[in-house]
């Protein structure tokens, strides 16, 4: 086994060993119920907020809660779930899951009102631009890995959708720690989280689209339960924050169009 494959296999096994017991089935559905209960509580607080400052306090609480719920409960439940090119498992360890469907399913189960299958079928850039505000999207083409990681490191703690040449995943940022969570087609061919700066598809991709998920606009939509509709024509809006020259949409794959 090559050193890189050995390292990833060890990381994958270690993460699987530390994932929550009973992370599939009933336990996972309990996580989802708890998230929905908390969303409803925060929505009532948002509705009762008397001014902009009070609304900002609720949105900040929602940001902290969602980061924890996704990073500490939903994603760890999926660790070790097998990757497959067209896998669409609806729950952890109940089948296989492709990278686009993994991201779409986690978002849907976190309470974002979207069609997880539709999300997984979209090219990664289209999916990211459909859920993240234009000002929260940055595109890197033929830039160094250092530039991409510096952009992520400069952001606030949260969740970042990352579209690559033929892949998509979620970067979890907490202080200086950046974890790239994805259903990988490389060894161990399963869902895992690994350092974003490591030897992985994020650092080897020539084209990277980064979208900040937990913006005020998206969090307010999450709180009130506003649906996220994707343009079925495949058209996308150009983000206002651009690093490098935009590439064609076909250079990114989503769901069944990617490995």
- Tens-place pLDDT, residues 110-158: 999 999 999 999 999 999 999 999 999 999 998 889 999 999 999 999 9
155-181 per-position pLDDT tens digit: 999 999 999 999 999 999 999 999 999
Instruction: Determine the pLDDT at residue 23.
Output: 56
From 157, 92, 186, 167, select the one nearest 128 (Cα to Cα): 167
* 13 φ, ψ (degrees, to nearest 5): -65, -40
Total domains, the chain: 1
Residues 6+ apart with CB under 8 A from 3: none
Name the band, by pLDDT with cuts 50, 70 and 90, for residue 230: confident
Instruction: Determine the pLDDT at residue 247.
Output: 33
Q: H or E segment at 195?
A: strand 191-195
Name the band, by pLDDT with cuts 50, 70 and 90, for residue 24: low
Using alpha carbons only, how large is the chain's radius of gyration in Å? 17
Q: pTM of the full predicted structure?
A: 0.84
Domain residues for the domain of 109 are 3-257
3-class state of residue 83 by DSSP: coil
Looking at 34-38, 52-56, 142-146, 192-196, which range is the least confident one? 142-146
Paired tokens of 249: 């949409």
Instruction: Determine the pLDDT at residue 232.
Output: 56
User: Residue 6: is it exposed, middle or buried by C-beta count within 10 angstroms (0-12/13-18/19+)?
Assistant: exposed
Instruction: Determine the pLDDT at residue 143.
Output: 85
- Between helices 52-69 and 216-224, what is the axis angle to 10°? 80
Q: How far apart are CA 255 and CA 239, in angstroms?
A: 22
Q: Is the pLDDT of residue 18 over 70?
A: no
Average pLDDT in the chain: 85
User: Residue 234: is it exposed, middle or buried by C-beta count within 10 angstroms (0-12/13-18/19+)?
Assistant: exposed
57-81 in b/e burial notation, b at 16+ Cβ within 10 A? ebbebbbebbbebbbebbbbbbbbb
Query: Would you tell me how many other CB atoms lie within 10 Å of the CB of residue 114?
Result: 17
Instruction: Determine the pLDDT at residue 231.
Output: 66
From 85, 211, 207, 72, select the one nearest 151 (Cα to Cα): 211
Q: How far is the CA of 150 from the CAs of 9, 124, 155, 197, in angstroms?
A: 27, 21, 9, 10
Instruction: Determine the pLDDT at residue 7.
Output: 40
Q: For residue 195, what are the β-bridge partners?
A: 179
Judge contact between 247 and 111, C-beta under 8 A: no
């Amino acid at each position: 086994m090559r050193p890189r494959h050995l390292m990833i296999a060890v990381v994958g096994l270690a993460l699987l060993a530390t994932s929550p017991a009973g992370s599939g089935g009933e336990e996972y559905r309990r996580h989802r119920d708890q998230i929905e209960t908390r969303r409803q509580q925060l929505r009532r607080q948002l509705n009762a907020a008397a001014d902009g400052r009070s609304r900002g306090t609720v949105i900040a609480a929602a940001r902290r809660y969602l980061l924890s719920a996704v990073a500490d409960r939903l994603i760890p439940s999926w660790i070790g779930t097998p990757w497959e090119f067209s896998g669409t498992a609806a729950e952890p360890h109940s089948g296989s899951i492709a990278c686009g469907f993994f991201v779409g399913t986690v978002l849907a189960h976190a309470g974002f009102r979207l069609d997880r299958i539709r999300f997984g079928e979209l090219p990664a850039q289209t999916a990211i631009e459909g859920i993240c505000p234009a000002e929260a999207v940055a595109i890197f083409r033929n830039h160094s890995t250092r530039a991409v990681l510096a952009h992520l490191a400069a952001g606030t703690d949260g969740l970042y959708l990352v579209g690559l040449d033929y892949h998509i995943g979620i970067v979890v940022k907490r202080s200086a720690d950046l974890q790239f969570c994805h259903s990988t087609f490389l060894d161990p061919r399963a869902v895992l989280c690994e350092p974003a700066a490591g030897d992985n598809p994020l650092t080897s991709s020539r084209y990277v689209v980064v979208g900040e998920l937990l913006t005020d606009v998206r969090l307010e939509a999450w709180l009130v339960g506003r649906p996220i509709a994707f343009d079925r024509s495949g058209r996308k809006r150009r983000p206002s924050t651009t690093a490098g020259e935009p590439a064609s949409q076909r250079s990114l794959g989503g769901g069944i169009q990617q490995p």
